Chains A and B, each alone.
Chain A
Amino acid sequence: MRKVDLCLSSEGAEVILATSSDEKHPPENIIDGNPETFWTTTGMFPQEFIVCFHRLVRIERLVIRSYFVRTLKIEKSTAKEPVDFEQWIERDLVHTEGQLQNEEIMARDDHATYLRFIITSAFDHIAAVYSISAEGVAVSDLS
């Protein structure tokens, strides 16, 4: 099985929900493979988005590139529909003035069909997420 970045629109991933959206900085920017584009939050926290893989995947490593994110919660689901999310990871990020936050999370071969990212607090009024990459393998298609 080929190890790939599962969190790319070119790999079939899709952002199916985001709580805020500026037309100029839509949530699709998170998975477009372009390191320069980003999604902005546009108001009060919490803010969240849900990534759908359209298949069951096994994740080994997650990397989140962001700015001004303070507390990040990640939930996962292995259901066919975006339901039954369970708490997976919670991180307090460090503010890195003038450079992107690059948060690496080692997963223990966790399975998911959906990931839900919840930004519960930020270091400023507005936060940005540039990319999420999820290294791993596709396990099976959803029938």
Chain B
Amino acid sequence: MVKLAAKCILAGDPAVGKTALAQIFRSDGAHFQKNYTLTTGVDLVVKTVPVPDTGDSVELFIFDSAGKELFSEMLDKLWESPNALCLVYDVSSEQSFNNCSKWLEKARAQVPGSSLPGVLVGNKTDLAGRRVVESAQAQAWALEQGLECLETSVKEMENYEAPFRCVAKQFHQLYQEKVEVFHTLV
């Protein structure tokens, strides 16, 4: 049995629902933030996620930083040495989806030479009538980039745990792979 610890950075444009996602996950669905507040600096959510079919778990340190900081140098400091990425866009905003490649590039630049487990999250599926980013389109891009892909509605409390379970599972997988490498070296 092992308890891993991983720094998971939340990335994506402003107002896509990063903070709402982190907070609803933290509170097990008890709190949906109705009023939008712009995150400045960083919020930290720490939560342990069990890895299915193992006795293992991953303690996630979720760094929720300001979405308006894409080009700021402060983000480089906050994002230092991430272990996982949760990349969020709004299914009703084409631009938030298009910007995902920039966020991904910035996140990957933090870990040159190693892989970064990650999940692409299309939020606000409750805004069905205003959807402009189709699931298939997001899935195709995620596949290309080596990201897992899923959709959520934080407002309807749908699937809000899935992104974090997904990155925990990926990080656990990565750990197992590294241990295999360590065995082969001797």
Contact = CB atoms under 8 A, between A and B. Distances in A.
A98 B6 contact: no
B182 A124 contact: no
A67 B182 contact: yes
B114 A125 contact: yes
Contact-residue bracket for chain A: 20 to 34
Nearest to A101: B185
A40 interface: yes
Interface string B152-186: 00000000000000000001001100110110011
Contact of B113 (A45, A99, A123): A123
Interface string B97-133: 0000000000000000110000000000000000000
Contact-residue bracket for chain B: 20 to 34
Contact of B175 (A42, A98, A100, A130): A42
A102 B89 CA distance: 45
Contacts of A67: 181-182, 185
Given A121-B81, A125-B114, A126-B175, A42 B4 contact: yes
Interface of B: 1-7, 59, 61, 81, 83, 113-114, 171, 174-175, 178-179, 181-182, 185-186
Given A40-B175, A40-B178, 13 more contacts: A20-B5, A24-B179, A25-B179, A43-B4, A43-B5, A43-B6, A43-B83, A123-B114, A124-B178, A125-B171, A126-B174, A126-B179, A130-B186
Interface of A: 20-25, 35-36, 38, 40, 42-45, 67-68, 98-100, 121, 123-126, 128, 130
